[in-house]
Structure 1
Amino acid sequence: MKLIYTDIHQDLTAILTKEALSLSADGRRVFYIAPNSLSFEKERQVLTYLPEGASFDILVTRFSQMVRYVTLNGLKQQKTLDDTGLVMLFYRALANLPENSLKVYGQLSQSIDFLQQLVELHKELQSAGMSAADLTELDAPEKAEDLQTIFQAFYQLFNQQDYQEESKVSFLIRQIQSGELGDDLKRIALVIDGFTRFSIEEENLVKALEAAGVPVVIGTYASQKAYKASQSSGGLYQAGVDFLRDLAQIFAVKPDYVISEEVSTNPRLMELSQQFQSCYDFTLLENSLSNEAKETVSLWEVISLKEEVVHVAKQIRAALEKGYRYKDILVLLGDVDSYRLHIGKLFDQYEIPYYFGRAEAMSQHPLVNVIDSLWRLKRYHYQAEDLVNLLKTGLYGQARQDEIDRLEHYIHYAQLKGASQFGKPFRINPKGKYDLERLNELKESLIDPVLTLLQARPQTGQAFLEQLNLFLETGRVSNNLAEMAQEAGSQALEEAEQVWQVFSNSLVQFYEIFGDQILKVEEALSLIRAGLLGAHFRAVPATVDVVTVKSYDLITPAANRLVFAIGLTQRHFPKLSKNSSLLSDEERLRINEKVGRRLLDISSQEQGKRNHFTALSLLHSATDHLVLSYPQLFNETDEVISPYLSQLEALGLPKIIKGRASFDMDLADIGNYKGLLSQVIELNRQDLPEVVTEAQETFWAVAVRYLRQKLAKEGLSLPQISPSLETQPLKKETLDYLYPKNQPLRLSASSLTDYYNSQYKYFLKHVLGLQEIETILPDARIHGTFLHQVFEEILRDQSPVDFDTKVSRALEKTGREEVFRQVYEVSAETAFTHEMLEDIARSTARVLRDDHLVDTIAEEAGFEARLAGSGEQPISLVGKIDRIDRLKASETIGVIDYKSSAQTFQLGRFFNGLSPQLMTYLLAMTKQDKAVSLDQIFGAVYLHMTDPVVDLQNVKTLEELPKLRRDLLQFKGLFVEEASQGLTSQYGKTSANTYSQNELDLLLRFTDWLYSRAAKGIATGHFAINPYSEDGRSVAGDQYNSITHFEADLHLGQARKLAKLGRKKEDWLDKISQILE
């Protein structure tokens, strides 16, 4: 055993590499052991110091990987499970437990986080040589019972296979202590670097190797002054000193202080480091910092996280101009999760290649989404959204994206759900809009294999894997993953390889655990899904020349030339360890006290000295320049400076206040295209400075001209936020095609309403022909058609049977029609809607039964009337009237329009073009070949088709109910005074909605004027974005923001403000007269 320590400004790795070379020269194979988080960096450093650049006799590895490299003389080693397999096994164990068997953790059995906590606890117990039965000193007896129940079920499954109950390291310890390794140990040696503490298992392994005569060299950082001091508590080297003293006592070895040939730290930094150390070892240095020392480290105060990253990105761009490469730069984060999004977005914006040095969760990868979608399809009975999610992963099938979009559209239209509906050929196509032949081909290639896989009977895990493998091959999942990665670049390709390796390993683990067990499809998928959701992958950078980004607590001295450490607030630096395990620190302490030794680690006991050493390592991390930064705002929360940074500031290190990352005319800003473009866009949103120098004006003229040329080549333009939205009129060729001079312009009441709602709405619907997404589920339009047809059947039935029988016949006949069966027999929900419609039909039909004043002379009466218009092109007024009645007494006729919601004739809305329907019908009747004169019209009304509901609070006696229900079923609209005499209360006739024949003539002429005005605007081909506003403060018309980019607060001035008058109809009629004059 040999213990070595040196100051942090010395190169410990170089010292230990020499020790490794010396041991290998004696014919030993040297295992150079590094911590898990630093093994990659240590391997790179060690290879740098080897004379030949590499050596077969020196292997940089970790404690947990030693087992595979040590020769075990043919000893059979039991099978082991990785974390993915353990997650599957715990998931299976929890699923097998009886319901309500867990009192504390019963609601967490499906939680991936809980499964991962169980895996960590299992490995910790395994390393400590403990079992769940030892967990007796917990806060609550129920918690201990639950954990013991879970682990008992877990070990029952575990022991069914030949799995190794102990960890790899424990297995190696047992083999060493039993003497099984024999002469193999005589040929190996250990060099241990980068540790300031050992776990119980690691310490036991070192003891076993040392006892077996294996040379062991352990090196760590500590100063002579700190090691020789009587008190180490609170010092920056406390972690290393305590580590050395513990090992010296255990192995009875005196540590040696060694100096390397070269100093790894910038000499100018040593002055600052000594001052910083003196603050923690109770000594005082009177010398102030030199200017050279102050220039070595920069201390930044920045406004926010985003601004921090922008400043770092600009500094990196500037460093590249000075000759640095990306690989010479390291970015350290105080909180990785908070900065991750900003780093990705802004580094891409400044075209800085980077690599996150940490494992990535598999849970968000499309490959896992494939398995998750399959499981959800089976678990939740084949919901459409789960099938669409599978298709949209981009990994399944060979269909083009537009074909997947059409299939998705049809699935939503036809409201397909459930295995039976997905299994049948697609036939629903009432309007002939869909290419059913192609859609059924897609169903056969994409949906049928899913159903085949998911509808398999219970089978062995091996048989299921064979079926799953066939499904993945048929769906070209691996090929699609490779193609997707190739399109995204070399980094994505490397990531895809790692992901596929983890995925394949998960399937191997599933086979080894459940290959012989009979499983249902849902059980098999849930197990694979659980393993994948808990798995991680680590992508290796596609090129060496990248900026490395990682958490600051993984830092080592002399890590790189330029180091940017950001997010160093009081909350994150020092970093307070969070115990996220199932055992609290108090419980761990009680368990350790019971057994009389440290078996379970308590991280909070070590965090003080660990944070001190991390701070010292961070100060020595850069060989050229170090930037330490903290934001004033951290995720919209005020933050204060870290105490370590405050100490540096107190020593005389100047703090640089970094404001907003404004645009400067230097290389850091204009060194790359994306950065320049983003800055111009950002400045475009800000107020321009009042004073602009001639140099700035020249610079901006050149910069914007360059950007416009660059964007023009790519068919792009700079975004502009304008206070007005201008539309371009249609070209003459387009207008001639749309509206030939020899043909009238076809308009209807609905198209006129759309035009006055917003001219651009008319353009979208009636010129471009855009339609909203439809579904087969019945909507108000379908409901109205159904009720219309029922009433037609009732009125057509002249048989002598009673009225209720006629209604029942009409309902039955209409309900049997294929067009209605397709929509009302889709599900129980639509069937219930159909029942409600039948109730509405029976209630509303009473109006027909009780109205003895009229005869119905026409139903669904289509019309096409010619209007003169205001220009050369006439207007063809088209539409359909639901019903035309004739008063028996006066022989006058009226129009009835069925409505699914309550409607009245409002003169104000009619004036503004928003309610022209009733007047359009009357105008059409007066303009047709067999024109109706004004003295032949008694009115035009709406009939609200509803099952009236009476508020019983307003009912005094039950005898009032029939009358109140009848009152709620009134005809409401406008009436002609001279021709509507004798109408009953069933017609909601009042003085406010009754007009003379002269007034009716005025309204008809104004209706004609509304159509002529709209036709004139349409003929110009210019459609303004002018949704209407009722009060001048808000917009009520349809805006179609995603298409028009209309913003009410910015473009309110473009809205068409409705005319406002009093409630008196005389005021509106006078206004109409003025316009027509």
Structure 2
Amino acid sequence: MALRYILGEINSGKTFTCVNEIIQSAENKDKTILYIVPEQFSMQSQKNILSKMKNCVSMNIRVFGFKHFAYYLLSKCGSMNKVVLDNIDKAILLKKAAYSLKRNGKEKLYYNKVMENQGFLDKLGTLITEFSQYQISSDDLSDFAISIENEKGEISGLNDDFVGKIKSISALYNEYSNLLEGFVSADGILDILYEILSSDELRPKALDNAYVWIDAFNGFTPQEYKIIEALYKYTNDVNIAFTVDTPKTYYEKIDLLEPYYEIKKCINRLTEMAGTKNVKMSVVSQDENTKTPELEYLGKNFLNHFPEPYRDNVNNIEIVEANNKYDEIENLCYSIREMVMNKGYKYGEIGIITCDDSYNIPLCYGLKKYDIPNFLDSRINITNHILPVFILSAIEIINTNWSPKAVFDYLKTGLVTFITPDSTATLENYVLEHGITYSWEKPWEYGFKNKSDEFKKLINTHRENVYNSLKVLLDIKPSKKYSIKEISVKIFEFLESSNIQNKLNTATRNKTIEQQELNHQVWNTVTNVFEKMVDNLGDEEVNLKEFYALLTAGLSTATAGMVPPTQDSLVIGDMVRTRLPKIRALFILGANEGFLPKTNSDTALITDKERAKIAEVSAYKIVTAPNIISKINQELLNIYFAITKPDDYLYISYSLNALPSKGDLLPSDIVLKIKNIFPEIKTTKALENIKFVNDLNAKRPAFEYLIDTISGNGELNDNEKNLYKYFALNNQPYSEEIKTLLSTVSATDTNCLSEESMDKLLRGDVDVVKKLNLSVSKLETYSSCPFKYFLKHLLDLKERAVYSLDSMDYGNIYHSVTEKVLRNNYEELSENLPAILKDYSEVTDYENYTKDYKNTYTQYKNFVSKFVEKYTDEYTKQELDKDNFTTSFTALESLNRVKKIATDYILATTTQIETSLFKPFDFEVKFGQDGTFPPIEIPIKDNISINFTGQIDRVDIYDDDDTAYVKIVDYKSKDREKIEPTDSHKLTTDKIDNMLLMQLPTYLSAFVDFLNKYFDNKIALNTEDKDTAIKYKKLKSSHHKVQPAAMLYSEIFKPISSDSFKNKNLANKRAYYYGAEGIFLDSMKVALDLRNKDTEKNNFYNIKYLNPDIKSDKNYSVSISDEDEFQAVLDSNANNLKKLGEDIINGLIPICPFIQNKNDSNTSACKYCPYSEICKKDIKEINIREFIKKD
């Protein structure tokens, strides 16, 4: 009955000593040997012992974690009749406790709103585990809650929030404890172990002659201390190994901030527990040092605050800097392969530690690409496996009345075999486009206007198949209550009817053994969850939503794990869970600030400050787990144990950029500390010195290097040509991949498509006389980024259509309604426009004026709204291809909002026109085969020209003697939250020169040109409308010349409340809100038109003079230029159209986005580009076209 410490520094041979002593003691067959280690280290410890036993097998050695020691002894003591619940049971019962307390509780608790949330319950489960470990019962917590509530006014810091939290946690803990009656929770299993050890009747006799070794712990919980104390009493010897810098059996003073604080405190407590018992100590130091000098020096100096720098060359510690995690992984995989192939390493002698879990999946893919065998030491949460997704989505379909997300989660699992993935995508597109969010029982009749009967039949066949596949579950009514057993039986009938178990086996028939084992584990785990729900709560009545929540709670706790392979393979793990065997090389990935060590965020239910308060009120004897400082020290110790683990080589890498957010990252302080210890160490750049062309140890990376080279510049050196021959000549599957690549990619310039490719892509846009049919908007897309034009207009890639009133619908409604009201009803609007709305220049009494204005404004607005209502309803019925539009409350609400916006806009536009010398002349003037005027034609080269089609929303004419001044207006719909100008459609000469806004100058120039030709009888109008023909003839008879005067964007915003106008600037504010923006010609007669014709005071156009010699008293937003400058703008635009057309004809499609400000990536065309996932380019890594501002 003795306690003995085995103490020493890191890698001093403590585990080696334990294993050797265990093997020697096991030679006496009468002895029982217990080797207690952390749970995750038990298998590795067994391997360590077996590897040392020289083909002998000893039946008297038992290797356990504390919990498995409890399960082992419990299995030997059947008379206890204890049913042990695991973490799955715990999660289900916690969910049940939350439901019961929320529905039946007499008082409202602090966590009432969130107590059913799974995230909250996960934190509560962790806290209850902590309570169990630290011997805090639900009664203890209840007493504590009552005490602090009574004394909260007397003790500082005991506020209502803190008391409320403790009361809520106490109530939930009590409810959970009540549900546990008759069971033993996994958290309480060590209490049962203590009960067995302390009982002469229950304790196995073999323990009386037991010898115990406890190894690899950094501290113990109160439960574990009790077990050790019992082992003192009832076994022969207890040997405990610790890593510590100064070996002692008791430490008088311990600094809270030192890394070994918890270990030294643990030794003190164990010594105190032993009391006067015979406490012995042996200090272990490994005589033979197998580490390289650098790693030995690192182990001795890493924890020192001011280490002496290592002055020799550093060859066995490498620090690597990478652009992103994928470069990190590529470099690591290449380095490992190189070490194994050329430096004599075995994979089993190499370990990998990832500092961030997001590395795990891409790392496994990378290692597979390099044919590197590996084992990921991690428990797999099964909720993302296809089987739980299949079950949960099927239940959710009924709960949500066939929500699209639930339906297509169900279909995409791969366990629904009556529909192919392509058909699933077609069905999903149809459902989302037409807003189907209800039962699929009856045939669908909408959305088939322009579709074939075959398509309609196909969609409804899929609908029927999906519906029939769920018929077994459709008997369950979401609102009705059933016993948990009844619902579970129905679900298993559903699984059986779907033949799921057989489908799971089929799905992995050609997969790896690991994937087959995972499917097997998941099936067993899922059935286990259902069994536990039925065993614990089988007669409990719940509705389907509550059943779904209970099932989700159970499945979210369930995990699957793989058995480590026996073959030569490396281990991937993390700093906390993983216990690596003896290794020669260690690779650490993701050593960035915030990840190594991890940022400790205090998000627990009881914060560190509250733990300190609990510790302060010590009379209540509530002791909690270590605080955040202790956790930081523990993590530093874990890092120290990891970096000192390898004997030969340490590799640490970090990233500079976080993907996909593309934010900047910094290296960890640990990296900086190692650099301070080793000032001679050099940081290498990932992938910098890798030459795949000379390395065929891993075929796939070498092949990808070759593909990148061919796709890049296509020029191969001699080595690369040999590599090409190796893969191209009957080396399957690589030869086929090369053929495919060469048939699709140009070998000369990936930014330029061949003439043959362009002919195929432009086939729909080029007619027989070689005229390229385009719109100006397409050219603007090409100007913003040629590659976007290629994807959008040549490949015709589109975003998935989702049922809604989208921006295109809004724009079409605004255009149509505005055009019809102004074309058909302008005279009525003009005649009824009250003077007070257009003449306010002489107003002095603003208080009365504002009151009158509001009343008059409201009356006139109602008058205008009648026309808007009429034309909006007509458009909706005739033009919107949304058959179930009127059944959607959201769509109808959106439509009412559109009507309000259109009414405000037309009212303001009417007022502007009435105060202007320009009057509406024509609406929706089209250029094209069916338009009023022919297409706009611009010659390119070799008898090829561009034909532009398009439409002017409104043309206003100002008559001046024999000259007709033309102003064109383009409507742009916007949803602006504040009354302030926007820059999105502000027309400036710089934007025209930079080919950003080309539509208005193109249309104005074309309209003036065609009208002059019409006046000269060189062309005829193409119109069957008599009124339009008469109007143009009348203009022709009274004018001899047409002059471009203005091009404006008129933006349509959110509706204005009359409360927006509260002061004397009311009219100016209104004009400012709806004022058009663009370019006006600077001539006196036209400039007069910019001002109120009576007062020369402009209220609707904010003027900024382009000519610096013309001074203005305000910074206005409408540019004015003289005739030469105006014409120069139009000519420059025509040249730009020609240049862009040539580039398109020549097949130039580089990834070259436009950027407004090269120092701000948010101003680039990539910001909201829907094709960014195809392009996958960082703006910092590609060519850009910068905004050029003229002097």
Alignment of 1:1038-1077 (within 5 A): none
Residue equivalent to 2:535: 512
Matched letter for residue 359 of structure 1:
R
Secondary structure of 1:457's counterpart equals: coil
> Following the alignment from structure 1 to structure 2, what is the Cα–Cα distance between the partners of residues 220 and 855?
95
Equivalence for 2:669: 639
Q: Please tell me whether the aligned partners of residues 744 and 876 of structure 1 are also in contact (alpha carbons under 8 angstroms).
A: yes
Cross-structure match for 1:413: 433
TM-superposed deviation, 1:39:
0.8
- What is the identity, as a one-letter code, of the residue corresponding to 1:302? I
Task: Decide whether the 8 Å contact of 1:426 with 1:439 is kept in 2.
Answer: no
Write the mapping of 1:692-711 to structure 2, written as runs, cut at 5 A. none
Kindly indicate whether residue 729 of structure 2 is the aligned counterpart of residue 729 of structure 1: no
**Which position in structure 2 is the counterpart of 1:318?**
339
Contact preservation (8 Å) 1:161, 1:513: no
Distance in 2 (CA, whole Å) between partners of 1:787 and 1:816 is 15
| 8 Å CA contact 1:89, 1:154 repeated in 2 | no
Shift in Å at residue 258 of structure 1? Answer: 12
Aligned partners of 2:777 and 2:999 also within 8 Å: no
The 3 A distance-change label for structure 1 pair 1047 and 422 is farther
Are residue 914 (structure 1) and residue 999 (structure 2) matched? yes
2: distance between equivalents of 1:570 and 1:765? 40
1:191/1:728 CA distance change after superposition, 3 Å: farther
Segment of structure 1 superposing worse, 303-312 or 314-323: 303-312
Structure 1 match to 2:101: 97
Listed as ranges, the gaps of 5+ residues in structure 2 are 7-12, 149-156, 255-259, 303-309, 657-664, 833-862, 975-984, 1023-1031, 1107-1118
Counterpart for residue 133 of structure 1: 139
Residue 207 of structure 1: how far off its partner (Å): 5.9
Deviations, residues 676-702 of structure 1 (Å, cap 9, x unaligned): 67999999999xxxxxxxxxx998897
Q: Which amino acid counterpart does residue 899 of structure 1 have in structure 2?
A: Y
Structure 1 counterpart of 2:554, which letter?
G
Instruction: State the match for 2:51 in structure 1.
Output: 48
Q: Is 1:521 aligned to 2:520, yes or no? A: no
* Match status 1:170 vs 2:191: yes
Aligned-pair CA distance for 1:834:
2.3
Alpha-carbon shift at residue 311 of structure 1 (Å): 6.8
The alpha-carbon distance between structure 1 residues 601 and 593, as it changes in their structure 2 partners (threshold 3 A), is farther
Quick check: 1:459 aligned with 2:482?
A: yes
> In structure 2, how many angstroms separate the alpha carbons of the residues matched to 1:304 and 1:608?
26
Alignment of 1:116-155 (within 5 A): 116-126=122-132, 130-135=136-141, 136=144, 140=158, 143=162, 146-147=165-166, 149-155=168-174
Using structure 1 for the length normalisation, give the TM-score. 0.70
| Preserved CA contact (<8 Å) 2:249 2:271 | no
Q: Secondary structure at the match of 2:26?
A: helix
1:546 counterpart (556, 569, 583): 569
Is 1:82 the counterpart of 2:86? The answer is yes
What pairs with 1:917-1066 in structure 2 (closer than 5 Å)? 917=1003, 920=1006, 926=1014, 935=1036
User: What letter corresponds to residue 413 of structure 1 in structure 2?
Assistant: E
Question: SS state of the match for residue 192, structure 1?
Answer: strand
- Tell me the alpha carbon deviations over residues 222-259 of structure 1, each in whole angstroms, 9 at most, x when there is no partner: 89999898979899997997698568657x55769799
**TM superposition shift of 1:472:** 5.1
User: Separation in 1 of the partners of 2:244 and 2:988?
Assistant: 95
The answer on whether the counterparts of 1:498 and 1:539 sit within 8 Å (CA) in structure 2 is no
Amino acid at match of 1:403: S
Q: What amino acid is aligned across from residue 560 of structure 1 in structure 2? A: K
Q: Distance in 1 between matches of 2:638 and 2:1184?
A: 60
Q: Secondary structure in 1 aligned to 2:554?
A: helix
Identity of aligned residues (%): 16
Q: Distance in 2 between matches of 1:999 and 1:274?
A: 77
Taking structure 1 as reference, are residues 627 and 32 closer, same or farther at Cα in structure 2, changes over 3 Å only? Answer: same
Query: In the TM superposition, what are the counterparts of 1:118-517 in structure 2 within 5 Å?
Result: 118-126=124-132, 130-135=136-141, 136=144, 140=158, 143=162, 146-147=165-166, 149-160=168-179, 163-165=182-184, 167-175=188-196, 177=198, 179-181=200-202, 185=205, 190-195=210-215, 199-202=221-224, 204-205=226-227, 216-221=236-241, 252=277, 266=288, 300=317, 302=319, 310=331, 314=335, 317-331=338-352, 335=355, 347=367, 351-362=371-382, 384=404, 399-416=419-436, 418-419=437-438, 425=444, 427-432=446-451, 435-446=455-466, 452=474, 455=478, 457-470=480-493, 489-517=512-540
Deviation at 1:516, TM superposition (A): 1.4
Q: Any idea what the Cα deviations from partners look like across 1:879-917, whole Å, max 9, x if unmatched?
A: 678799999999999999873559999999899753333
Equivalent-residue separation in structure 1 for 2:910 and 2:578 (angstroms): 86
Distance 2:336 2:869 in 1: 82
Partner residue in 2 for 1:777: 804
Structure-2 change in CA distance of 1:1021 and 1:513 (3 Å): same
Which region of structure 1 is more displaced relative to structure 2, 60-69 or 578-587?
578-587
Letter in 1 for 2:26: A
| Distance in 2 of aligned mates of 1:301 and 1:1008 | 59
Which of the residues 18, 39, 42 maps onto 1:39?
A: 42
Range moving further from structure 2, 535-544 or 304-313:
304-313
For residues 557-572 of structure 1, the aligned pairs below 5 Å read 559-564=581-586
Maintained 8 Å contact 1:735/1:1021? no
CA contact (8 A) 1:238 1:609 kept: no
Residue 694 of structure 2 is aligned to residue 672 of structure 1: no
Amino acid at match of 2:169: I
AA paired with 1:406?
T
**Mapped contact 1:3–1:255 kept (Cα < 8 A):** yes
User: Do residues 899 (structure 1) and 971 (structure 2) align?
Assistant: yes
Distance change >3 Å, CA 255–CA 860, structure 1 → 2: same
Does 197-206 or 982-991 show the bigger shift? Answer: 982-991
Report how far residue 562 of structure 1 moved: 1.8
Partner of 1:1069: none
**What letter is aligned with 1:300?**
I
For 2:627 and 2:1188, locate their aligned partners in 1 and report how far apart those are by CA, in whole Å: 68
Counterpart CA distance in 2 for 1:420 and 1:797 is 45
My pick for the range that moved more, 999-1008 or 922-931, is 999-1008
Match of 2:846 in 1: none
SS for the counterpart of 1:22 is: coil
Greater displacement, 948-957 / 965-974:
965-974
Offset from partner CA, 1:798-846 (integer Å, 9 cap, x none): 9999996777655555555484774753644432332244446656777
Q: Which runs of 5+ in 1 are unaligned?
A: 281-288, 687-696, 1063-1077
Q: Is the 8 A contact 1:919 1:1004 kept in 2?
A: yes
Structure 1 partner of 2:859: none
The alpha carbon displacement at 1:547 in A equals 1.0
Given that residues 1081 and 1126 in structure 2 are in contact (C-alpha distance below 8 angstroms), is that contact kept between their aligned partners in structure 1?
no
The CA deviation at 1:77 is: 2.0
Counterpart contact for 1:1029–1:1057, Cα < 8 Å: no
Larger displacement relative to structure 2 (89-98 or 300-309): 300-309
Distance in 2 separating the partners of 1:324 and 1:726: 47
Aligned to 1:64: 67
CA distance 1:1037–1:18, shift in 2 (3 Å): closer
Contact kept? 1:1025, 1:1054, Cα under 8 Å:
no
Scaled by the length of structure 2, what TM-score is found?
Answer: 0.64
Structure 1 residue 608, shift from structure 2 partner:
12
> How far, CA to CA, are the matches of 2:635 and 2:1090 in structure 1?
92
Matches within 5 A, 1:502-901: 502-542=525-565, 544-551=567-574, 559-564=581-586, 582=606, 586=612, 625-627=647-649, 636-637=666-667, 639=669, 657=682, 659-660=684-685, 662-663=688-689, 671-673=697-699, 714-715=737-738, 725-730=751-756, 734=760, 739=766, 741=768, 767-779=794-806, 781-783=808-810, 785-786=812-813, 810=871, 813-817=874-878, 819=880, 822=883, 825=886, 827-839=888-900, 862-863=930-931, 865=934, 899-901=971-973
CA contact (8 A) 2:918 2:958 kept: yes
- Of the three residues 22, 26, 35, the one matched with 1:20 is 26
How many angstroms does 1:636 deviate by?
1.3
* 3-state SS, counterpart of residue 571 of structure 2: strand
Q: Using the alignment, how far apart are the partners of 2:638 and 2:317 within structure 1?
A: 19
- When residues 565 and 975 of structure 1 are mapped into structure 2, their CA distance, relative to the original with a 3 A threshold, is closer
Determine if contact 1:361/1:534 at 8 Å carries over to the other structure. yes
Q: Distance in 1 between matches of 2:1008 and 2:413?
A: 56
RMSD, aligned α-carbons:
7.1
Q: 1:303 to 1:62 in 2, by over 3 A?
A: closer
Amino acid at match of 2:485: Q
Deviations 1:962-1016 (A, max 9, x none): 997999799999999999x999999999999999999999999999999999888
